[in-house]
A = this chain, B = another copy of it.
Amino acid sequence: VHAGAGGLGPELREHEAECRQTLIEALCGAQAVVERGGDAVDAVIAAVRVLEDFEYFNAGTGAALCSDGTVQLSAALMRGSDRAAGAVAGVRTIRNPIVAAQAVMQSHQVLMIGADAERVATAAGVEAQSPHAFVRDHMRARLAAHAHAHDRGTVGAVCLDRSGGLAAATSTGGITGQPPGRVGDTPLIGAGTWANDRVAVSCTGEGEAFIRSGTTRYVSMLVEAGAGLAEATAAALEDVAALGGDGGLIALDAGGRVAMPFTTESMPRGLWRAGADPTAWVAERDPVG
């Protein structure tokens, strides 16, 4: 799991223990799914739901505010075995956008936007809430101070289940002060989110650069061409950097290898492997990455 690449501001330091605890809870949520025989898709949804519900991560409940003071949420989900995918962009009333992405995947669309996406989700039983419920005092203060330097990009999860199935999920509130209607890389399959039978990837960072790089599809192609996961993900972040973008990603291949590189000051992240305890890193650069 990851909770967004970004700066190492006072907010992250102040809430470091809660951030770490939330990452662990997200991993435990995924672990519970996998240990009862659930698949990678359900596991990444379980993890991302926990991350979306934490007010200091930029997704769902903790989403950044647009320039007009509203939230616009995006999320995507992809299953590696058959490359089924679902995504939503620009939704304002869905508490857990990753569950709305699942509803879109089940509807046999791939990407739905705005109020129409909300209708598909709520018709499928996904929980809605007032758009005002997302607006938190600390986010309003951040918007007023133009303090997007303290944003973290996004949250995400990748999973390899007991049957060898891979999945990826990503969810975001965008950038503090972004124009309403802006969509970043998160809900775009092949940009911020990707899974096939070889690799699952979830990105975070300056979304426009990740879109223009086609980051996750690029990682996938490099892995298919024989690159190691560390090499492929480093090359992808170099391509993003060549377009002027910072960020990070988490990637997991069918052999269980993991890479979690980032080019920003920090990227809160965590890892669980069967037989081990979940572990999370918040301000630390090492050991993973």
Binding site for B on A (CB under 8 A): 78, 83-85, 89-90, 108-117, 119-120, 179-184, 188-191, 194, 207-208, 211-214, 217-218, 220-221, 225, 243
- Given A112-B181, A116-B179, check contact A214 B243 (CB 8 Å): no
Residue contact A83 to B179, C-beta cutoff 8 Å: no
**Copies of this chain present:** 2
| A97 to B: closest C-beta gap in Å | 14
Most buried by B among A85, A113, A119, A207: A113
With A89-B183, A217-B217 already in contact, 4 other A-B pairs whose C-beta atoms are closer than 8 Å = A83-B243, A90-B113, A116-B179, A188-B190
Which B residue sits closest to A189, measured CB to CB? B211
| A74 to B: closest C-beta gap in Å | 10
**Residue numbers in B under 8 Å from A89 (CB-CB):** 89, 113, 183
Residue contact B116 to A181, C-beta cutoff 8 Å: yes
Which B residue sits closest to A82, measured CB to CB? B243
- Given A83-B243, A221-B221, A243-B83, check contact A111 B214 (CB 8 Å): no
| A179 to B: closest C-beta gap in Å | 7
- Select which of B90, B108, B116, B208 is within 8 A of A108 by beta carbon: B208
**Residue numbers in B under 8 Å from A184 (CB-CB):** 111
**Residue numbers in B under 8 Å from A90 (CB-CB):** 113-114
A109 to B174, CA, bound (A): 12
A110 to B187, CA, bound (A): 13
A165 to B38, CA, bound (A): 49
| A30 to B: closest C-beta gap in Å | 23
Residue contact A179 to B211, C-beta cutoff 8 Å: no
A271 to B263, CA, bound (A): 43
Residue contact A211 to B111, C-beta cutoff 8 Å: yes
- Which 9 A-B residue pairs are closest in the complex by CB-CB distance? A116-B181, A190-B214, A214-B217, A221-B221, A217-B217, A111-B183, A83-B212, A110-B208, A112-B181
Residue contact A120 to B208, C-beta cutoff 8 Å: no
